[in-house]
Amino acid sequence: MDHFFQREIVLENQHVKLVPFEAKYAEGLRKIIFDEQITRFTGAHYRNESDLQKYIVATLESRAASQAYPFIVIDQASGEVAGSTRYGNLIIGSKRLEIGWTWYGEAFRGTTVNKACKYELLRYAFEEMQFNRVQFSVDAENTRSQKAVRKLGAKQEGIFRCNYMNTDGECRDDIYYSIIHLEWAELKQMVFLEFQ
């Protein structure tokens, strides 16, 4: 695990391919990122080319600093960049991490892309990394994402009040969910069978 952030992790099924986040995907990101729906519940806004470049630099720096492992999500059907996601808040000694910082372009929302993406991330975390816990945090007002996380079989744990500040300086609450390794085998068969 010492070299986790140096790994070249590629995760793939019939619907999505997750590849390490790189600046070479800027054009694909540019086509979909300038959308207020993407950043409504995040700590940033992406409205112009400068914002995009700052996002790319900050995302790459998060991996270089061993803070997160970001991915580009590619839709297999079209070959287009569908969005981005990442592993973050990794605590190697406790074998836990968070899946999040996920967003998709408008054409890919409400499709099988998210579920297919989460399957690969969960499978890798529990089966390859042998982690005990995967958590998700969702803004308390982001009902779409809350519903999506519950569909994965994650259990709601509680509300973290004033958990982050958005770009507008607002203090935001997050709802936390988790899946633990003891639940993975059953969820894999009950929720994610279509991807195996």
Q: Model pTM?
A: 0.95
Percent of the chain clearing pLDDT 90 (strictly above): 87
pLDDT, position 1:
52
Reduce the DSSP state of residue 165 to 3 states and report it.
strand
146 vs 165, higher pLDDT: 146
Average pLDDT value for residue range 13-26: 98
pLDDT, position 35:
85
Average pLDDT value for residue range 110-132: 97
Percent of the chain clearing pLDDT 70 (strictly above): 98
Which amino acid, residue 152? Answer: L
User: Would you kindly state where each structural domain of the chain is located, as residue ranges?
Assistant: 4-195
Average pLDDT value for residue range 125-149: 96
Q: Say whether pLDDT at 41 is over 80.
A: no
| Fold (topology level) of 4-195 | Aminopeptidase (3.40.630)
